[in-house]
């Protein structure tokens, strides 16, 4: 599957703008959302070929929950959903506020560190396309 | 000098015996009455007592019984005019040394007295031995109870297992720390220990030879931070390469674990908060440096100014952290000035206007006229008010209200800030001013922060000898009250009128 349209979800407007510019320079079409809620709405409207979701938005685990929600949809299960974060295992960040049920939802195609390195992102897309 | 009491109703007998032994150096008393005999026996310490079986006033065996009961060490003989087998057995059972049939001969009596003397010595020896044994037992039980007291007073669990895996000693603390209901000395203990401890204890219990190393592990005994213990296992040495048992020492480390968690939570929080603006700035720089991305000059200036804003925020966070650590170290040196509190409140609320308007929060200001000034460093008071107001916004609901009241009371300036927000849960109340503490629940998940705001506020209030307290109802709102001293009145020393008048 060819990836053309990407949904970018992040509550930090600076990062949305940056990532949008970077991805557009690589020829992708980018749609954006500033919250998990808006992100899911945009996902349903736009049916993008890939999603890049910030981890910590309204909640510490909003990104996880949104990816899970996307992955559960008919369209979502066939596209890569990549979580972007500056909180990583190195910083010891624990998703302590996620309930057990929420944690069991947590599922995505990969975690990427901020800031986006566009080559890494494209590599993730490619490995997903190969798998499917 | 040995003494003899003769109880016999026949005068000749009394006289004869008296005559026999007087010359041998015995002290002799005689009586014909059983009752008198008993009294004499009680009030004196006779070595020997001879009792006629058939006294006129008493049964001799009864007299024997009475005397033996009171003075068991006295050697008694029954002399019998009418001896019978039954009486002899009865007398022996009552503790008579001999049963001597009449008539009495000097030789016969001498023989019996010698036998009696031996009897008496044996008795005394036995008595001493018994006393000694009793004392030893007493000492032993004292030692045992002292050991038990010590064991139970130790601030930690101690549990000793022999090589067969049987429980030898334990104290009550070990029951609590190992989370077991009851243990019995002597029982096979391994199966009774919690799973998490078994491996550690087994390694020692089934070791081929003496292990010099002590091993400690930390175990969460009751989940959700209810009980963390440290368990330390070691061998009790028998000789250089054998051991006689295993000792398991347990300690409650729940609080230490909680602090560790708070610290690591804080570190990851700070790391994330520091990383976020850095990522944004780095992203802008990458775009500005990327020849593939074409942007207008206007956009370029916008990116530079936004980078600068993000760095400004970063500085603020670093300053917060520094303030916190500085407050812990020492009281800082300050330039105090007279501060108009109303001005501070107004400038802070203006500064935060965008934030509360965004949530459609109504702000009520109620500042009394002619508020006295306070002596403080402006930056501190500014920070104090900013943190409280910004919390009242952050933790408020949309369309909520914030009421700010400032007045003076006694020597204090009183500042109250009340919100209609999510409030504070009872269990979180004691931790509100704790550094790094942030209430974690559904309502606060969306609120970001370092957990330093109120810790800084408390630090500032304390440094000006003020007071801060709060009242909060969960889901209803919170009211913080701050009292700051207006100014230190300087009391002049009163002239001593008494001296002046004289």
Residue-wise pLDDT for B365-374, tens only, equals 999 988 888 8
pLDDT digits (tens, 9 = 90+) for B439-448: 655 566 556 5
Residue B492, Cα to own-chain centre: how many angstroms?
Answer: 50
Residue B450: per-residue pLDDT: 62
The predicted-structure confidence for A55-108, as pLDDT tens digits, reads as follows 877 666 778 888 888 988 999 888 888 888 776 544 444 454 455 555 555 556
Instruction: Tell me the pTM.
Output: 0.53
What length does chain B have? 502
C-alpha angle A8-A12-A18 in degrees, rounded to nearest 5: 60
Count CB-CB contacts under 10 A for residue B466.
Answer: 20
Q: How many CB atoms lie within 10 A of CB B388?
A: 24
**Residue in A69, A81, A87 with CA at minimum distance from that of residue A12:** A87
The alpha carbon of B348 is separated from its chain's Cα centroid by a whole number of angstroms, namely: 48
Closest-CA distance of chain A to residue B146, Å: 48
* Integer Cα distance of B403 and B364 in angstroms: 5
Which of A102, A115, A116, A122 should one mutate to test binding to chain B, selecting the residue with the greatest count of B CBs within 10 A? A115
Confidence grade of residue B449 (pLDDT, cut at 50, 70, 90):
low
With 50 as the cut, is the pLDDT of residue B493 above it? Answer: no
Q: How many other CB atoms sit within 10 Å of the CB of residue B147? A: 11
The per-residue pLDDT for range B236-294, each reduced to its tens digit, is 988 888 899 999 999 999 999 988 887 877 777 778 778 888 989 999 998 999 888 88
A–B: how many Cβ contacts below 8 A?
66
Residue B283 has its nearest CB partner, among A18, A58, A96, at: A18
Q: What is the mean pLDDT of residues B32-54?
A: 90
Biggest alpha carbon–alpha carbon distance for chain A: 40
Asked if the interface predicted TM-score (ipTM) of this complex is over 0.85, the answer is no
Whether residue A94 lies within 8 A of chain B, CB to CB, comes out as yes
Residue B149 has pLDDT above 80, yes or no: yes
* B283: nearest CB among A60, A97, A115: A115
**What are the E-state strand segments in B63-115?**
75-80, 98-101
How high is the mean pLDDT of chain B? 86
Indicate yes or no: CB of A14 within 8 angstroms of CB of B290: no
Min Cα–Cα distance to chain A from B439, Å: 11
**So what's the pLDDT on residue A20?**
93
List of chain B residues whose C-beta atoms are within 8 Å of the C-beta of residue A91: 267-268, 271-272, 275
**Residue B310 backbone phi and psi in degrees, to 5:** -65, -40
**Nearest C-alpha of chain A: how many angstroms from B180?**
28
């Amino acid at each position: 599957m060819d990836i053309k349209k990407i949904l970018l979800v992040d509550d930090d407007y600076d990062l949305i703008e940056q990532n949008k510019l970077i991805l557009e320079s690589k020829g992708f079409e980018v749609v954006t959302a500033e919250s998990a809620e808006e992100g899911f709405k945009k996902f349903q409207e736009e049916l993008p070929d890939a999603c890049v979701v910030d981890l910590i938005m309204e909640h510490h685990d909003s990104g996880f929950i949104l990816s899970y929600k996307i992955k559960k949809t008919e369209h979502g299960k066939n596209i890569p959903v990549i979580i972007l974060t500056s909180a990583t295992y190195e910083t010891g960040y624990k998703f302590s506020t996620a309930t057990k049920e929420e944690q069991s939802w947590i599922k995505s195609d990969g975690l990427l560190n901020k800031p986006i390195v566009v080559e890494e992102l494209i590599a993730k897309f490619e490995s997903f396309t190969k798998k499917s | 000098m040995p003494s003899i009491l003769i109880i016999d109703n026949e005068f000749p007998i009394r006289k004869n015996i008296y005559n026999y032994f007087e010359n041998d150096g015995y002290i002799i008393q005689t009586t014909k009455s059983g009752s008198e005999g008993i009294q004499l026996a009680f009030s004196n310490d006779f070595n020997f007592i001879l009792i006629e079986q058939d006294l006129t006033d008493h049964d001799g065996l009864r007299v024997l019984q009475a005397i033996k009961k009171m003075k068991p060490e006295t050697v008694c003989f029954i002399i019998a005019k009418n001896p019978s087998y039954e009486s002899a057995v009865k007398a022996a059972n009552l503790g008579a040394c001999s049963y001597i049939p009449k008539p009495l001969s000097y030789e016969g009596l001498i023989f019996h007295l010698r036998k009696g003397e031996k009897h008496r010595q044996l008795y005394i020896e036995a008595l001493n031995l018994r006393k000694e044994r009793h004392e030893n037992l007493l000492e032993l039980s004292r030692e045992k109870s002292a050991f038990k007291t010590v064991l139970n007073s130790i601030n930690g669990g101690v549990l000793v297992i022999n090589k067969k895996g049987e429980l030898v000693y334990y104290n009550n603390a070990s029951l609590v720390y190992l989370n077991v209901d009851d243990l019995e000395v002597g029982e096979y203990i391994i199966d009774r220990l919690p799973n998490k401890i078994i491996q550690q204890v087994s390694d020692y219990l089934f070791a081929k030879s003496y292990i010099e190393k002590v091993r400690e592990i930390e175990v969460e005994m009751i989940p959700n931070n209810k009980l963390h213990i440290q368990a330390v296992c070691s061998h009790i040495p028998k000789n250089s390469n054998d051991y006689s048992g295993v000792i398991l020492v347990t300690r409650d480390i729940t609080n230490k674990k909680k602090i560790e968690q708070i610290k690591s939570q804080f570190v990851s929080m700070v790391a994330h908060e520091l990383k976020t603006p850095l990522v944004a700035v780095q992203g802008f720089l990458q775009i500005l440096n990327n020849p593939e991305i074409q942007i207008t000059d206007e956009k370029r200036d916008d990116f530079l100014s936004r980078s600068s804003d993000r760095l400004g925020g970063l500085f603020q966070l670093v300053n917060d952290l520094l303030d916190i650590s500085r407050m812990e170290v020492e009281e800082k040196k300050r330039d105090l000035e007279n501060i108009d509190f109303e001005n501070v409140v107004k400038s802070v609320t203006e500064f935060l206007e965008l934030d509360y308007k965004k949530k459609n929060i109504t702000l009520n200001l109620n500042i009394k006229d002619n508020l006295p000034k306070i002596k403080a460093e402006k930056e501190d008071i500014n920070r104090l008010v900013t943190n409280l107001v910004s919390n009242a916004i952050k933790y408020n609901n949309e369309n909520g209200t914030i009421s700010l009241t400032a007045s003076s009371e006694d020597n204090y300036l009183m500042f109250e800030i009340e919100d209609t927000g999510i409030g504070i849960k009872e269990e979180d109340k004691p931790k509100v001013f704790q550094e790094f503490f942030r209430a974690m629940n559904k309502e606060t998940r969306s609120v970001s922060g370092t957990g330093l705001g109120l810790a800084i506020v408390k630090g500032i209030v304390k440094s000006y000898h003020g007071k801060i307290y709060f009242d909060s109802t969960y889901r209803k709102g919170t009211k913080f009250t701050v009292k700051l001293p207006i100014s230190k009145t300087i009391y002049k020393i009163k002239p001593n009128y008494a001296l002046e008048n004289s």
